[in-house]
Chains A and B, each alone.
Chain A
């Protein structure tokens, strides 16, 4: 696993790649849900992220990778040592949530080793701590146990993790982007969890011969000589990385004209999405997309491109319409913006 498959070498699946990239530009959009056929590179794309993303500055020795520049909520350890902290560059954490993980390892618990060998009570951070400021990837999210799903929703919403064990009370920052993937045939996702994801993408297996051959070729080349393959794609990944960095810097300067906000509201009304979360996400994602493409203001074209992933999972199920929710969003977008 030392050399993951490079992000830019993934063939096709443009909507999925775009959604993931937009979420890396602006983490406040919320998570990304990737649902669809097996063997379409869902996991590959997420696992490639760690190598793709620009490194971040973090306090040395901090289990939560606190940002030294961040004034506000950081862990107790960093708050105590304020001003004297050393920092270094670390890769953005992309934490794979193992299926079968028990709750104590997810939220963190008492350090068993120290308790047994030295009789000390010490907190051992869990997966949520490791994912702070990064990504938490849950493969087969629909198979995750309900109580863990509830817990993740709770932490993702509040941005901090609170653990009370053995008279020990620990509160630490846990801000991360959840990326979930799954196959609808294995089970539906609960609507509460669905709504927590900012963007939702449907992936399908490519059906044209050249694409399929290319997928197999690249995978084969990668498996036969990982180093050479990764080196070959490095410049593409580098280019993408620069684009992400530029987009993050550019993001605050991107204007959102009133007309675009109105259009977004109209789109959401036409689709009857519940709550305001849809509109907010739509605007944020469109702004991140504009920043990613180097535009100074959000235009209708951005809305059009990002509307399906931002809205398709927020529609109420219409029993009399058997078309997929993606098709309904497309239809509403066409009605609003014209073909």
Chain B
């Protein structure tokens, strides 16, 4: 990536921060200070909370995060509600419901306001957002979309306004993704990791500034060309979401409002691209995806001196109808915005994305353990529903009594005259049962190529890698299974077991030699994975081979047919959407093996490029 130097000195911003003076119009074209970026995002989000949706704040709990939140609180007009929502919040608390105590006291239904309604006009803080169940995230996003809570619970139907911004406090590690539906609705994705609290000086923006900006927001004009520039940048960076694009336009507008201008200028657009589009980049702009770059010279270091920042805003802004939203240095706005955004792509982001590419979208499971299975009789409670106890379903006494309570006067009246000595009249209609969700177990199936070619190459290393993975599986209480293939077929050496000692022993005794019946091996792995899934567990396939199939499914030799068979077997793994990891054990990685991995939708990992430790890291990441 070509570094794009700042056109405006960041030092001036920093001075502003230190001296607590107003920064004026000279916003940096490239904001490469992460804290400054985070602070700016905070201010812009405060200007247009509902329009921008909010912030995904990736940070561990600590002084830096507290500083950011404190700054947000300081910028908001007094009295702005801010509600903290724990990840395990119940529907009743989140959306509202029947306030039983008040109902019984008042003798008429009294609704309880949910947290989302209480946050109307303010902010919702989602604590430990990475652990938010998909259902809860979906409720929050539905309310964000509608701007109101349509309550239909516990005999109450009520619609209350609930427009708010979300700050998702994401403390997750890299392999614990936040709900993508929620992320999509949050304009800013900030990462505060690695920042030190000492450098986190609040931005000199006061609540009064924010209120002035808010008042100005409706009149801000977006010149033609600005939207195009953002749309082109989004495409070039591979940001496909339409919401991200819309948010970037709103952020540009909020930036203009914060600066006290009437129209969006080039710097606002650049800033919006850096804050909204860059963190979502899925690719580096190439000449194919960004044809608008073709006629421009390749991104050269921009040698504009920092002083040369006579703001282009007045002309570009006022001539909103005029299409000359051209920056002073004659490059199309698209290019400027794109380069600025490119410079703001967080390091390592694309590497992570590439590692994740090729995996099929599949049902998201929270955390790294097996997929969640609802409706079981064990596990954590996952909600309450009306139903009959028995048949394994457990009665939830408290909820049953709660359900029965409002009807007591009616029922007492109905049985008036009939002698009764029961204190509470509970009918079958009131029965509430608890549902449980249980994390299913993960079974890791090792498919080891023990053929002659593999044995020659790196069977010993492969064994070493498996042993390391076994240690991992032990930590995670996974079950493991071992299948070896050589000669004419595959053999299940170890059916799914928790005994790692047995796995180690059968691995150590694994002899090498013979042909490579890759298709038979993959088929055997698929069969076992299928059986594991039928049991309700989550299978992960780890295939260690050099990818040189030379024995077909029926045991006959011949490279061409053997490879064809192997690929069709691999496609079956992909169709079932099993998680898979392909470890290429050949000394020089072959393109054929990579294709085979793509057919399986498996992650591909050449052993030559990796020691056993990094392989075990990857398995941990995918499963």
Contacts and interface: CB of A to CB of B under 8 A. Distances in A.
A145 B138 CA distance: 12
A205 B238 CA distance: 12
Contacts of B151: 98
B246 A219 contact: yes
Nearest to B106: A116
A209 interface: yes
B222 A220 contact: yes
Given A38-B181, A205-B242, A212-B235, A100 B94 contact: yes
B564 to A, nearest CB: 12
B281 to A, nearest CB: 15
A130 to B, nearest CB: 9
B155 A105 contact: yes
Contact of B406 (A112, A146, A213): A112
A140 B138 contact: yes
B216 interface: no
B363 A187 contact: yes
Given A38-B181, A220-B246, A109 B227 contact: no
Interface string B140-166: 001001111111111111000000000
B108 interface: yes
A41 B184 CA distance: 14
B153 A102 contact: yes
A265 B363 CA distance: 34
Given A98-B142, A320-B571, A116 B228 contact: no
A124 B385 contact: no
Contacts of A104: 154-155, 386
A339 interface: no
Contact of B361 (A101, A185, A207): A185
Interface in A264-312: none
A126 B51 CA distance: 33
Given A104-B386, A213-B228, A117 B240 contact: no
Contact of A112 (B109, B142, B246, B363): B109
A106 interface: yes
Contacts of A38: 180-181, 184, 241, 243
Contacts of B364: 185-187
A186 B182 CA distance: 12
Contacts of A117: 107-108
Contacts of A336: none
B91 interface: yes
B139 interface: yes
Contacts of A116: 103, 107-109, 406, 409-410
Q: Interface centre among A1, A212, A215, by most B CB within 10 Å? A: A212
Contact of A185 (B152, B362, B385, B568): B362
Contacts of A209: 228, 231-232, 235
B150 A143 contact: no
B480 interface: no
Contacts, number: 175
A126 B150 CA distance: 13
B108 A113 contact: yes
Interface in A102-136: 102-106, 109-113, 115-117, 119-121, 124, 126-127
Interface residues of A, number: 64
B249 interface: yes
A96 B244 CA distance: 25
Interface in A181-199: 183-188
Given A116-B108, A188-B363, A213 B227 contact: yes
A242 interface: no
B138 A207 contact: no
Interface in B217-265: 218, 222, 227-228, 230-232, 234-235, 240-246, 249
B495 interface: no
A206 interface: yes
B87 interface: no
Contacts of A126: 152
Contacts of B234: 212
Nearest to B248: A216
Interface stretch (B306-314, B552-560, B572-580): B572-580
A154 to B, nearest CB: 15
Contacts of B142: 98-99, 139-140
Given A101-B152, A112-B406, A115-B407, A216 B227 contact: yes
B413 interface: yes
Contact of B134 (A40, A113, A184, A186): A186
Interface in A135-158: 139-140, 143, 145-147
B574 A43 contact: no
A1 B568 contact: no
18 contacts: A38-B243, A39-B241, A99-B138, A106-B152, A112-B156, A115-B409, A143-B134, A145-B383, A145-B385, A147-B385, A185-B362, A186-B363, A187-B363, A206-B242, A212-B235, A319-B575, A320-B571, A321-B571
Closest 6 CB pairs of A and B: A105-B152, A112-B155, A39-B243, A101-B152, A319-B575, A98-B150
Given A146-B374, A185-B363, A186-B134, 16 more contacts: A39-B184, A40-B242, A102-B154, A104-B155, A115-B409, A116-B103, A116-B109, A116-B409, A126-B152, A140-B142, A183-B181, A205-B240, A213-B228, A220-B246, A224-B218, A319-B576
Interface of A: 1, 37-41, 43, 96, 98-106, 109-113, 115-117, 119-121, 124, 126-127, 139-140, 143, 145-147, 165-166, 183-188, 205-207, 209, 212-213, 215-217, 219-220, 223-224, 317-322
